[in-house]
Chains A and B, each alone.
Chain A
């Protein structure tokens, strides 16, 4: 089983819709959680760190469910500019390396 798993998609969503992604992790000792956004042939850009209490940044909401070992990302009122690949990343206790999922590709359709 992979340490971090994501549905690769693609998700094709109409503009203005709400879309949600999940990311599951296998190691219960996981410590920190992140969502990155990656545009085609560019570097990943940190979108949000995910805190135990959940956090929101504008149209984006991230949640952590430790019991079921997944994190989620919700995008409301999606824009064309949200089209990208969304990568989740996890660090494990005592280990600062980021372990990434394979990414979920999102395309917002006009």
Chain B
């Protein structure tokens, strides 16, 4: 049973560029949440997708957008990258209304 997968593992971008991160949820899960984790901090909630719609959003600017596909996989897009966007981006999958969330290995984004 495959767990949560994310790609790519690492990414280096320059300021102003755009990036797309991808996530496939655990088998049987239909909900995907995205988190940003800066060094030394706990993960911060970006948004959650269920039934291809954004259900909840954290305190992140509109430069952060996402999408969920019919197969429940999801993408996180970040436009106009800033140095402060450098972080570990985590995808978590769950079944809707069940609060246990399971994380993928993350994508480490470095913005130069």
Contact = CB atoms under 8 A, between A and B. Distances in A.
Contacts of A31: 99
Interface string B69-102: 0000000000000000000101010100101111
B105 A100 contact: no
B25 interface: no
A43 B90 contact: yes
Given A95-B56, A96-B48, A96-B99, A103 B104 contact: no
**Which of A91, A95, A98 has the most chain B CB atoms inside 10 A of its CB?**
A98
Contacts of A99: 45
A34 interface: yes
B8 interface: no
25 contacts: A31-B99, A32-B99, A41-B88, A43-B90, A43-B103, A43-B105, A44-B43, A44-B90, A45-B103, A46-B101, A87-B42, A87-B43, A95-B56, A96-B33, A96-B94, A96-B99, A97-B33, A97-B48, A98-B43, A98-B101, A99-B45, A100-B43, A102-B40, A103-B41, A103-B42
**Which of A31, A41, A45, A96 has the most chain B CB atoms inside 10 A of its CB?**
A96
A61 interface: no
A42 B106 CA distance: 8
A101 B43 CA distance: 8
Contacts of A100: 42-44
Contact of A42 (B33, B41, B105): B105
Interface of B: 31, 33, 35, 40-45, 48, 55-56, 58, 88, 90, 92, 94, 97, 99-106, 108
Main secondary structure of the interface of B (DSSP, over half): strand
Contact of A46 (B35, B42, B90, B102): B102
A99 B102 CA distance: 14
A91 B58 CA distance: 13
A49 interface: yes
A87 B40 CA distance: 11
A100 B37 CA distance: 10
Interface in A24-58: 31-32, 34, 36, 41-46, 49
